[in-house]
Amino acid sequence: MKIKITQWVYTLGLIILGFGGPVQTALAHGEKALEPFIRMRTIQWYDVAWSKQQFKVNEEVAVSGRFHVAEDWPVSVPKPEAAFLNVSTPGPVLIRTERWLNGKPWVNSVALQPGGDYEFKIVLKGRLPGRYHIHPFFNLKDAGQVMGPGAWLDISGNAGDFSNGVKTLNGEIVDMESVGLLNGIGWHLFWGALATGWLLWWVRRPLFISRYRMLQAGMEEVLITPTDRLIAKAVLVAVPVIVLAVNAVAVNRYPNAIPLQASLDRILPLPALVNAGQVDAEAIKAEYSVAKRAMVFTVRIDNRSDKPVRIGEFNTANVGFINPELPAVSSQAPATAAVLKLDDDTPVRPGETRTVTVTAQDASWEAEKLDGLINDADSRVGGLLFLYASEGGERYISSVSAAVIPKF
């Protein structure tokens, strides 16, 4: 008896601790859910920025930037023939009012071209006050969500002041927060009552064991009565009649209706920049040191421009590594930015081809679950390498990738 009482005391204590312990808010939106090779070698985000991070209910905020569709697209991931750009939020705290890709408004999914660069802009409107961590992301068909860089947004004001009026084709202004609400609730109640009545009609009588015995005795015909057949026929006829009749009423009441769109937009990538191809970077090999949490690249740089260039940044899966010896880059980088080290940081002269060892070492490889790359069947690393001209400040972007050799 004493042992049982002790067990109950322990169990009760665990329950109290479980309910009384600190509660932590989940802040993640699946940024680390996909395999590292998908996050590194599909959609490569850069220059993502928010117009503001503090605003009120009903005020608009825009997130804009660019992304590169990697040439070294993983063979196990379907090609981006259907992708949808959206914003990840913890519930309906914002509404999307506009969306642009390469200066064109679009509402559907889009086919992306590997090797192309795109410029996007999403306009959002504050709906619920609070502090939220928001990400732009691409939903790739049959692959999942590839998250872009996140930001904290502070929305102030009163949720009751939110308005979402839309002008219909006939000129009427409707509130999207309440239009059709009662109609939807009514239809849910109707179909729920019909389904519940149909279910209760059958479960009101003995089930399972009794019916099983009747089946074993060859009394199948007795299980279904003439009343059962009559009610089944009535339901079979009534449901289609109700659906067709109400549909006719809706069509007559709303003759000018736009159906849900299911087309696929075709938007070409941005045209090549004037200085595109003047500076190329190619990753020859990559080694990942597990103990040091460092990715070491061997990169061949071919400078065909008329200005010396230096490596300034490496970005992969929203993790940036900055060359602190390059003032133009380090001055704009956040204080927590990871460091990028080079064995030879002297400028690459015009017409010169040089092989450089680049080391990206930081705990972010482990924190962002990118070190799991060495355990993947597709163990290749990818990202964007940014090079800067010593004079004029021109920026050259190269998408690099290489097979990873782990070092333990």
Its sign, for the CA torsion 141, 143, 144, 148, is negative
Query: What was the pLDDT predicted at 212?
Result: 83
Query: What was the pLDDT predicted at 275?
Result: 60
Q: What confidence tens digit (pLDDT) does each residue in 255-267 have? A: 888 888 888 998 9
> CA geometry: angle at 58 spanning 55 and 60, to 5°?
60
> What is the average per-residue pLDDT within 346-365?
95
> What is the average per-residue pLDDT within 106-128?
95
Q: What letter represents residue 174's amino acid?
A: V
The stretches of 254-363 forming alpha helices (DSSP H) are 327-330
> What is the average per-residue pLDDT within 285-289?
95
Q: Which of 374, 398, 378, 402 is CA-nearest to residue 388?
A: 398
Coil vs helix vs strand at 335: coil
What number of H helices and E strands is found in the chain? Answer: 8, 22
Strand-pairing partners, residue 140, are: 83, 144
User: Which residue would you say has higher pLDDT here, 163 or 210?
Assistant: 163
Q: Residue 79: CB partners within 8 Å, gap ≥ 6? A: 73, 114
> CA geometry: angle at 239 spanning 236 and 244, to 5°?
130
**Residues 296, 286 contacting (CB under 8 angstroms):** yes
Query: What was the pLDDT predicted at 207?
Result: 74
Tokens 């005795």, residue located: 217
Q: What confidence tens digit (pLDDT) does each residue in 4-26 have? A: 444 444 445 544 444 444 444 44
**Residues 316, 363 contacting (CB under 8 angstroms):** no
Residue 256 vs residues 103, 246, 251, 253: alpha-carbon distances, Å: 29, 17, 8, 9
**Residues 32, 147 contacting (CB under 8 angstroms):** no
Decide if pLDDT at 274 tops 60. no
Q: What confidence tens digit (pLDDT) does each residue in 21-72 have? A: 444 444 555 677 788 999 999 999 999 999 999 999 999 999 999 999 999 9
Q: What confidence tens digit (pLDDT) does each residue in 203-226 have? A: 887 777 887 888 888 887 778 889
Tokens 């239009």, residue located: 179
Topology of domain 279-407, per CATH? Immunoglobulin-like (2.60.40)
Whole-number Å distance between alpha carbons of 267 and 215? 63
Domain boundaries, the chain: 36-169, 181-253, 279-407
Residue 191 vs residues 185, 238, 284, 322, 369: alpha-carbon distances, Å: 10, 12, 63, 59, 46
Residue 44 vs residues 86, 115, 123, 298, 318: alpha-carbon distances, Å: 15, 11, 21, 20, 8
Q: Output the CATH code of domain 181-253.
A: 1.10.287.710
Topology of domain 36-169, per CATH? Jelly Rolls (2.60.120)
Query: What was the pLDDT predicted at 335?
Result: 66
pTM: 0.82
Structure tokens at 67: 């992304």
Coil vs helix vs strand at 51: coil
Whole-number Å distance between alpha carbons of 300 and 282? 5
**Residues 342, 322 contacting (CB under 8 angstroms):** no
**Residues 368, 32 contacting (CB under 8 angstroms):** yes
Q: Residue 227: CB partners within 8 Å, gap ≥ 6? A: none
DSSP-assigned letter for residue 13: H
Tokens 């070492």, residue located: 361
Q: What letter represents residue 126's amino acid?
A: G
Structure tokens at 367: 């924190």
> CA geometry: angle at 388 spanning 387 and 390, to 5°?
140
**Residues 122, 63 contacting (CB under 8 angstroms):** yes
Query: What was the pLDDT predicted at 255?
Result: 85
Q: What confidence tens digit (pLDDT) does each residue in 304-347 have? A: 999 999 999 999 999 999 999 988 787 777 766 799 999 999 99
Angle, helices 181-203 vs 226-253, to 10°: value is: 170
The stretches of 266-363 forming alpha helices (DSSP H) are 327-330
Q: What confidence tens digit (pLDDT) does each residue in 372-389 have? A: 888 888 899 999 999 999
Whole-number Å distance between alpha carbons of 357 and 364? 20
